Structure 1
Amino acid sequence: MPSVRDNATYFCRSFMDRHGAAVLHFAKVAAVLLACALALEVFLFNMNFYLTAGLEPRDVTRECGLPENDIGQLMLTEANHAVVLQGLDQAVENVWLDFDGEQPAQLLECKVSFTDEAHKTFFDTTEYTRGVPIVDVSTVSDKSEYLNLNASGRVQALEIELVGDEVRYPVLLDKVVLNANRPFDFNKTRFGVALGILCLVYAFRPRSAIYRWPLRVRPRLTKAIIIGAFVVECLVMTSYLFFGSNLVGVATSSYNYGSWDGVSMANTFEVGGENAQQYAELAKSFTRGQLHLEEEPPEWLKAMDDPYDKGARDEAQKETGEDYLFDVAYHDGKYYVYFGVVPVFLFYLPFYLATGANFPTALGVLASVLAFAGGCTALLDRFARHHFKRVSLGLFLLLQIPLVACSGVLYLLKFPTFYSLPIALGLAFSVWGLYLWMVGRSAAHPCRWYAAGSLCMALVAGCRPQLLVLSCVAFPLFWRRYITEKRLFTGTGAREFACLVAPYAAVALAIMGYNAARFGSPTDFGASYNLTVNDMTRRGFNLGRILPALFAYFLQPPSVTGVFPFVQPAPFDTTYLGQTIKEATFGGIFACLPVLWILAASRRILALRVSERATHTTAGVVVALVAGGIVVALADAQMAGILERYFADFSFMFLAAAVLLLFVANERLAPGTPTASLFQNALLAVVALSVVYVVLVCFVPEVGWYSDIYDWAYQNIIEAVQFWT
């Protein structure tokens, strides 16, 4: 009887006999990619190590004119907060400010001034020139402590002054060195990112084999690769969420350790302020048999004639000194949660009953986003394998990545708060509902698929009601079968149709009963009672809001700079003479996501599909998606305003329509022809631009994010990317 070792040996030999050439090729490619990433990290990303290796350092610590503490460290104080060097008379390539790493971490703004052979006095920004920019230096980021100077000839005087009103003095300096030799720094994260980018470039290069593997011809291999790619996406998104630790609400001995209880392997804690706990507080209220929050509003709020006027609320709060909950629904002397209630039943209530603690909202956002990504992948796979003949693995992955990444969910992970959770969960339910419907359309016994899909779609009403617009896709999907072919009027068809409709009816009855019990009306979700920045009870509908919203959501070009992350909030101006609710946004989807430009050719592409098929299902789905996206964007602008997280409400609809159009266009292209090559290369370019844009937005500094709370640590990311500074 052969041993385990014999069996393993036999398996390896037989596997290598069949796939040896492929394994050898893969090993060679992996070695080359690894070597390239290593070369980039060692030589290019560490270029300053080689450029400064021949410099002769000059220690000027004792020439700075700063007071010293008991152990000889220089002290920058509120009264004396500048390093001043006179009479240098030498070339200065860089300055090393060696801050004490044991002092409290902070990000310092340094104003650098110098005189050289072209400037006898310090120079600054004028009408026609730009002076030396303010430099950010982190006391815990070694690379940021090196300031490269670009002087004209020999430097005579040099001054480095701490500016800004938030510096915590004293700031301790161990030494100041001119023309320092930059140390070699092997950044493992940067190396990993570079290797990942190189792998993507190689995998999606124009002549890659993945463009020659049709999904239908090689189903097992392609499914395995798709699942692997999905797992990698999940790991990347999970890593990004946990990177923004200030919003996660989970602590261990090595993560958010300042909030660790010192006993548990992991414990939860509250983040985001008091009003951010309203989902958790609602779960507690449910256990007590009540629908309103436990906290009582202050008496001054109950006594107000118009409690929804923010200006009046702020004045009353100042006079009394009593706080109130912000962004909750206030009705009949009680606080309510107007956000969709489904997340409470899915996450918060079970977690509270099991642990007695508040569920970490960020984990709910992550679970919802990952479920959305899985649903997108399954839905796309269903369309590609069952409704199109020529979709290759390369085309599938090339479209799956922007369908997930560009849909706005990465921004929800950037701010994984209770604002983001209902949107992410609504999207997850929507894509899985569509997938289950698609499976049911080709199943011999579709009732259970229809019921499950409709339940998912109906639950969207308890998450993000705007996303119910996606239910309109049911019309092109089922119209021909149940209306045109009159299947609805048969016994079997009636049962199937009932399975489609019944979950909507059940969920609608539950939500309407919940609304009626809280606000006295089955159709009142409570959004108009929100204690927010404007009076929602009088917001109404105004045509003047439409054009600014159309521009900001769809057409505004991105605002870019030459400094990481290269994208910045887009400017906003309007002629609408009223209150506009507006947070930072970064450009309209049609200007910033080139992959959507295919929508401009919708009519021509759909005409090709209609000419080949007796049914118009695909055309109907595309029209429903585009129309739904426009409706949701305008509804958001009218009801709430122009906010970056609202892009997730409608971006998926346009992206899904674009993907279907690209599938249709691909069907008309014969593989290997110049037209097919042009199509593939153009698609690769627009997808790359779209994905790069959304990734950069993920790292734009914003209030409340990692860059704001841990600005001194965020500087490490900037230094890793801007390796040339």
Structure 2
Amino acid sequence: MFVVTGIFFNSKKPLQTNLLHFPKPFRWIAPENHTADTKFLICCGGVMIAGEILILMVLSLIISTFMFRYGDFFNPIAVAVSALLPFLSVMLKMVLPEEKQLHQFVKVLTLCGLILLSAEVLVFNGKSLTTDSNTTILTVDDITFEESDQLKKQGDSLIIKGDCEMFLNTLPQNAKGFIFHMNQEINEDARIFHVWMDMEDDNFRYAYQIVADTYTLGNENSCMMSFSPYETLYSMKLHFAQIANPVTLTEIVAVPALPYEFSLLRYLILMTICAVVAIIIQCRLYEVAFDWRKPPHLAIVGMMVMLCTFSATQFYDVVKVEDLTEYEKDKNYSWADPYAQTFHALNNGRVALEIEVSPELEKLENPYDNSARRESNAPSAWDYAYYDGNYYSYFGIAPVLTYYAPYILMNGKLPTTGMANDFFATLSIFFMCMALLSAVRLMTTKPNFLLLLASLPAITACTGAYYCMEFSDKYFVAVASAQCYIALTLWLGLWGIAVKKKLWKCLLFAGSGLALALTVASRPSVAISAAVLLPFFFGILFRKSETIASRMTQAFSFAVPLVAGLGGVMAYNAMRFGSPLDFGATYQLTVSNVNANHLRLSLLPASFFHYFLQIPQMRSSFPYFETNCDHLRNYGAYVYMEGVFSALMNPFAMAGFLLMPTAYKRTLAGFRQGVTNRQRSVALALCFIVPIITAWMDFCMGGLNLRYICDITPLLFIGCVIVLLRTTDVKKKMYRYILTVILCLLSAFLIWVMLAGLRDCMLLRRNPSYYDTMRDLLIFWH
């Protein structure tokens, strides 16, 4: 191909070989001032092919001699990529001699291809180094086990249906690992299951010690575990737990080392990273400032926003319409989720839910006391609001009005909570990205383009939309709805402040006000984040350069939809609980008496620790960290606690929080719409102050929960990104710029890795093999 291509281009225009600058030993191929001909092309191609064959032969020799191999040497695609790049480099230099940047880029990529091909053998498969190639197949007859309902023998296989253990007492002494040949039926019920091994050797002769721990989907060869016995290996004890579908174990192969496996996915990902980094360095893209007036910039940012938005599809709860429950007005839906029940009640002219109240509950003096309910054995609807002999939903009505009602009326079927979560979370990702862009436009000057792009996946992954879809229950519907509408509030509000035309301002402010009312109707505590708009709104109201009529028109554009929406919410509250400001949270029938909760200033330090600084909990298997709940046990009263991933444990957020004082040292250029630096400074301060206040209120009134963390993340993370953009100077502190970009990308990556460990949630239900793929990609040393 190289020769044919060279002859073709040479026929169009003579190709000069003196541009190639061969090393001295190879200059005989291309004498100076020589024009490429067939002989040159054949010699040049032959030398490159010989070099590539030599490299592959050396690597193959290492694999065949010093590694335990269970499959092919190399992936053909990886070899093709690495082999074609040198030819491409030579051809480009002859055909396009003036494109020096392109030459350098391909040369760097060629070198990266060679290094990564070698690294895949020598580094990522270092666990396979051994000169022993003897394997032992352990069949069912070699396994000692106690047959039960959880573990049964069927022919030459073992059927594992639940938690069980088995023993391997006759083992080859060269064994350093096991390959489990087992299969689990892959369907909607398939889940990764837990496998771990205990070992007895000369170090612990009479006591088993855990030596390996993992989760796996159970596909063929997907579960491989290594161990390193001291001197004599006596016995191995295998544990299986958290079995969803029956697992068929056919045999276990004892191997001297885990087998060599070339990972095409890892190779292509690393090559892509190398290519992107090379382009950024070659073209000095790190110096480019984002310009709102340039269509290419807007197009690239738009593509990144859409990519972030479409990432939500990995969590979708895919349900066929025909599998949904038909809705009929006269039926009883007491089994449905609170939002469907609320719609059904409103559709029948009621505000109370159609749930029967037990006589035992009505007789209780204090039905909100969980201890009293238990003592009297009073049946009750868990986590509903009980007031004046009726059940109500204390969750916001916004999801009912903006999703459930339209969907049911259009389709005649009841949607699932997963569908509602997907709808609101997907919109919240898009609105959140747009809110960030509007904030960047208003509160920064010449933001770095690449850092802005890197911040979009970070804020997408860390804000909470993924959590809402991952857990996908009735509690997260309100959270997803609140995040959706607060992001829309901030986007339209900040956009309206930045535009020139008064008509557009009024329309955007009206949309922002309506979105804020829907935020209150979703989750009132989240609406406090709209306080970041106040400095700019006050600036408009007191701007003497505009007429009073213009200022009042803009103010009423925001206020009228907001007041109308809040009026509807308060009227709905009054119809249910007798007070327009009562959302029903104090009437919950839940784990504790919510009326015992009240604001206490003494809980401010604890709330800051739990919501912002609590470190993740380590776990024994990949991904090695997870949500955590560190109970301090000195709150002075009961506090509801669940595991969380606190806000500042996202690396980019911690960097933004720590650099906040530095952001105030930078003087920004004035904004032409009358926005002052004082307004920007106050707004930036509110991005950090409001989340702290919200966290304190949530902790006092509700406790600690991942849902409550989502109340503070939208505004906090916008503030963190603004700080990073304002404090990053490529020319003065390149190290800070590089570190900041890495932290943004690392933040998104860590969330995706952490979600891989949640076996019963939507990501793994939607993509069952995601865990095994991610583990094998990252954990290459055992």
**TM-score class normalised by the smaller sequence:** 0.7 to 0.9
- Distance in 1, Cα, partners of 2:479 & 2:649: 23
1:113 to 196, 199, 219: 199
Correspondence for 1:515? 573
1:144 CA drift (Å):
4.9
With over 3 angstroms needed to count, the CA separation of the structure-2 counterparts of 1:539 and 1:210, relative to structure 1, is same
**Distance (whole Å) between structure 2 residues aligned to residue 496 and residue 464 of structure 1:** 26
> Is 2:432–2:714's contact at 8 Å kept on the other side of the alignment?
no
Counterparts of 1:272-351 in structure 2, within 5 Å, are 277-317=337-377, 322=379, 324-351=380-407
What is the rounded CA distance, in whole Å, between the counterparts of 1:449 and 1:60 in structure 2? Answer: 70
Map of 2:519 onto structure 1: 460
Conserved? CA contact 2:182–2:219, under 8 Å = no
| C-alpha contact 1:440 1:449 (8 A) present in aligned 2 | yes
Q: Distance in 1 between matches of 2:529 and 2:246?
A: 58
5 Å matches for 1:183-202?
Answer: none
Deviations 1:52-102 (A, max 9, x none): 79522223434445689563435789999533324x563212234434656
Deviation at 1:478, TM superposition (A): 2.0
Give 1:456-535 correspondences, 5 Å limit. 456-483=515-542, 485=544, 487=546, 490-535=548-593
Deviation at 1:348, TM superposition (A): 0.6
Alignment of 1:363-382 (within 5 A): 363-382=419-438
Contact 1:94–1:146 at 8 Å: present in 2 too? yes
**Maintained 8 Å contact 1:138/1:715:** yes
Please give the alpha-carbon distance, in whole angstroms, between the structure 2 residues aligned to 1:582 and 1:79: 29
Query: Distance in 1 between the 2:562 and 2:770 partners?
Result: 48
Matched, 1:399 2:455: yes
2:756 equivalent in structure 1: 699
| C-alpha contact (below 8 Å) 1:37/1:198 kept by paired residues | no
Could you tell me how far apart the structure 2 residues matched to 1:430 and 1:90 are? 63
Instruction: Write the distance in 2 (CA, Å) between the matches of 1:481 and 1:159.
Output: 74
Structure 1 segment 636-655 matched on structure 2, within 5 A: 636-655=698-717
RMSD: 4.2
Structure 2 residue aligned with 1:227: 302
Structure 1 counterpart of 2:688: 626
Residue 678 (structure 2) aligned to one of 612, 616, 624: 616
Cα deviation, 1:453-479, whole Å, max 9, x if unaligned, reads 211122211111112212322321021
Change in Cα spacing, 1:528 to 1:186, as seen in structure 2 (3 Å) is farther
The answer to whether the 8 A contact 1:558-1:592 is kept is no
Residues 335 and 180 (structure 1), Cα distance of their counterparts in 2 relative to 1, 3 Å cut: farther
Is the aligned partner of 1:158 residue 2:235?
Answer: yes
Tell me, in whole angstroms, the C-alpha distance in 2 between the residues paired with 1:77 and 1:480: 67
Deviates more, 1:516-525 or 1:612-621: 612-621
Q: After superposing the two structures, state which structure 1 stretch, 187-196 or 230-239, moved more.
A: 187-196
AA matched with 2:483: L
Please tell me whether Structure 1 or Structure 2 has the larger radius of gyration of its CA atoms: 2
Contact kept in structure 1, 2:618 and 2:624, CA below 8 Å: yes
Q: Equivalent of 1:659, from 714, 718, 721?
A: 721
Report the secondary structure of 2:667's partner residue.
Answer: helix
Deviation of residue 279 (structure 1)? 0.8
CA contact (8 A) 2:212 2:225 kept: no
Q: CA deviation at 1:344?
A: 0.4
The 2-side partners of 1:168 and 1:679 are apart by 47
2:155 is the alignment partner of 1:71 = yes
Alpha-carbon distance in 2 for matches of 1:79, 1:644: 30
Which letter does structure 1 place at the counterpart of 2:155? I
- Matching residue's letter, 1:282: T
1:548 and 1:574 in contact (8 A); partners too? no
Tell me by how many angstroms 1:334 deviates.
1.3
In structure 1, C-alpha distance between the alignment counterparts of 2:618 and 2:545, rounded to whole Å: 55
For residues 625 and 387 of structure 1, do their structure 2 counterparts lie closer, same or farther at Cα, with a shift above 3 Å needed?
closer
SS of the aligned residue for 1:132 comes to: strand
Q: Distance in 2 between matches of 1:81 and 1:496?
A: 70
Contact 2:174 2:256 in 1 (8 A): no
Q: Distance in 2 between matches of 1:26 and 1:351?
A: 56
Of 354-363 and 598-607, more deviation after overlay is shown by: 598-607
What is the Cα deviation at residue 269 of structure 1?
10
Per-residue CA distance 1:10-30 (angstroms, 9 max, x = gap):
xxxxxxx99x96997899599
User: Structure 2 unaligned runs (5+)?
Assistant: 1-94, 328-332
In structure 2, what is the Cα distance between the partners aligned to 1:79 and 1:358? Answer: 37
Find the residue that maps to 1:353 and give its secondary structure.
Answer: helix
Q: Secondary structure at the match of 1:142?
A: coil
Q: Please say if residues 365 and 416 of structure 1, whose CA atoms lie closer than 8 Å, have aligned partners that are also in contact.
A: yes
- Structure 1 distance, partners of 2:153, 2:529, is 66
Q: How many residues of Structure 1 are paired with residues of Structure 2 in the alignment?
A: 666
Which letter maps to 2:193?
L
Structure 1 residues 74 and 638, CA, compared in 2 at 3 Å: closer, same or farther? Answer: closer
CA distance in 2, matches of 1:302, 1:26: 80
Deviation at 1:638, TM superposition (A): 1.2
Distance 1:431 1:402 in 2: 16
Q: Is the 8 A contact 2:185 2:245 kept in 1?
A: no
Rounded Cα–Cα distance in structure 1 between residues aligned with 2:137 and 2:482: 60
User: For the Cα contact (< 8 Å) 1:110–1:163, is it kept in 2?
Assistant: yes
Query: 1:425 & 1:682 partners in 2: Cα distance?
Result: 34
Corresponding residue SS for 1:135: strand
Flag structure 1 segments of 5+ consecutive residues without an equivalent: 1-16, 125-130, 243-247, 253-260
Rate the CA distance shift 1:268–1:392 in 2: closer, same or farther, 3 A. Answer: farther
2: CA distance, partners of 1:344 / 1:52: 63
In structure 2, the residue matched to 1:255 is: none
SS of residue paired to 1:56: coil
SS in 1 for 2:354: coil
Residue of structure 1 aligned with 2:255, choices 179, 182, 187 = 179
Amino acid at match of 2:519: V
Assess if the C-alpha contact under 8 Å between 1:216 and 1:389 holds in 2: no
Instruction: Give the Å deviation of 1:39.
Output: 4.4
Asked if 1:680 corresponds to 2:737, the answer is: yes
Structure 2 Cα separation of the partners of residues 407 and 198 of structure 1: 29
Helix, strand or coil for the counterpart of 2:414?
coil
Describe the shift of the 1:493–1:71 C-alpha distance in structure 2 as closer, same or farther (beyond 3 A): closer
For residues 169 and 627 of structure 1, the distance between their equivalents in structure 2, rounded to whole angstroms, comes to 49
Does residue 1:210 correspond to 2:293, yes or no? no
Shift of 1:528: 0.6
| Partner amino acid, structure 1, of 2:319 | A
Deviations 1:421-448 (A, max 9, x none): 2222222222222232233333322222
Deviation of residue 337 (structure 1)? 1.0
Q: Is the 8 A contact 1:141 1:713 kept in 2?
A: no
Amino acid at match of 1:697: M
CA 1:216 to 1:707, structure 2 compared with 1: closer, same or farther past 3 Å? closer
- Looking at structure 1, the residues matched to 265 and 325 of structure 2 have their Cα atoms a distance apart, in angstroms, of 27
Q: Is 1:359 the counterpart of 2:435 in the alignment?
A: no
1:408 pairs with 2:476: no
Alignment partner of 1:159: what SS? strand
1:616 counterpart SS class:
helix
For the residue of structure 2 that corresponds to 1:406, the secondary structure is: helix
Q: 1:57 and 2:143 equivalent?
A: no
Residues 366-412 of structure 1 deviation map (CA, whole Å, 9 limit, x = unaligned) = 33233223223333333445664422321321333323332233222
Cα distance in 2, alignment partners of residues 65 and 546 from structure 1: 57
Structure 1's 503 and 140: CA in aligned 2 closer, same or farther, altered over 3 A?
A: same
Give the whole-Å Cα distance in 1 for the aligned partners of 2:346 and 2:160. 55
Distance in 2 (CA, whole Å) between partners of 1:30 and 1:374 is 36
**Native 8 Å contact 2:691 2:712 kept in 1:** yes
* Deviations, residues 622-673 of structure 1 (Å, cap 9, x unaligned): 122222111111111111111122111112222222222334335xx4x6x3
Q: CA deviation at 1:329?
A: 0.9
**Corresponding residue SS for 1:580:** coil
Is it true that 1:251 corresponds to 2:319 in the alignment?
Answer: yes
